[in-house]
Amino acid sequence: MNLQQFYPDRELSSPLFRQLAHFFHAQITNGALPPGHKLPTERTVSEATGLSRGTVRQAFAYLESHGSIVTKQGSGSFVAALSSHTRSIAIVGSGQESLIDLKRQLSALADVESTIFILESVTTAPDPARFLEPYDLTIIPSSHYEKIASLAGDTREKLIEVSVSPSEDTLRQIFALDREARIGIICRSNEFLGTVKGALVTHGFASDNISSFFEMDYTTSTYFPGGIDALISFSDAHIFTSERFRFRNEELIQKGGQIIPFVSHLEPNRLAEIKARLTSLT
């Protein structure tokens, strides 16, 4: 976990301790901080983020009250362990944007804890099979299945290959756009950019009218050359989650523009298979 990725926003109505708590919670849910992992000390977090130790202490107390961490007197704070009734799923892929959507979809299953891993986390592990061994199931998009399967060893029987596609609501909003519309894409990975741009071109949108920015480069003062008619990004992008973009978004909509969250999902039969496999483990 890199604490330098935390950016406190003092203009938000959300208190700083809660912003920090949400940052840690995101690191826990995406697998950067696995169950049992020891958290940095209050002093370390304070020095790295510029927040007071009191604020850090409030954030840790907030996380503990919500069951995300446990504090052991004299030992420090640790990510809470999974319940003995909880089934664990690893989701492995190279596009974090779609993996977040899959994690959200799987959260609808009872007593399931899913963890996201970027492909390189598994492929570069000293022992990929041992890396995946603690998880009851591992979900892998088709584009990476053979690669992971070749490394999985005895854990291969716990792999499930899935196809990931845009949700019906995402496609409905895209199909409603004029085919000559100028479209901007905000992405976090090249894979997501390729997926969105590919879907647009396949459905008749002009490639020359499609522009993009990586999320870290897109700020409230960044503008697409020539302007845009529609902005497309993943559901957890900062244009949807940060209050700083509210005015910018409203301005685009007032001018007749549209903002579309590109949501990916598993096909229903695969979700049913995952549920059945988990049930068979009980």
Q: Do domains 87-165+268-281 and 168-262 have the same CATH topology?
A: yes
What is the reported pTM? 0.68
CA–CA distances in Å: residue 243 to residues 84, 96, 126:
38, 22, 41
Homologous superfamily of domain range 87-165+268-281: Response regulator (3.40.50.2300)
Mean pLDDT of the chain, nearest integer: 89
Sorted by where each begins, the domain ranges of the chain are 3-79, 87-165+268-281, 168-262
pLDDT for the residue numbered 208: 95
Q: Is 147 helix (H, G, I), strand (E, B) or coil?
A: helix
Q: Where residue 86 falls among pLDDT bands split at 50, 70, 90?
A: confident
Where in the chain does DSSP place strands (E)?
Answer: 69-72, 76-79, 87-93, 112-118, 137-141, 159-162, 164-166, 183-187, 210-214, 230-234, 258-262, 264-266
CATH architecture assigned to 168-262: 3-Layer(aba) Sandwich (3.40)
CATH number belonging to domain 3-79 = 1.10.10.10
- pLDDT class for 270, splitting at 50, 70, 90? confident
Using alpha carbons, select from 141, 197, 190 the residue that is nearest to residue 165.
141
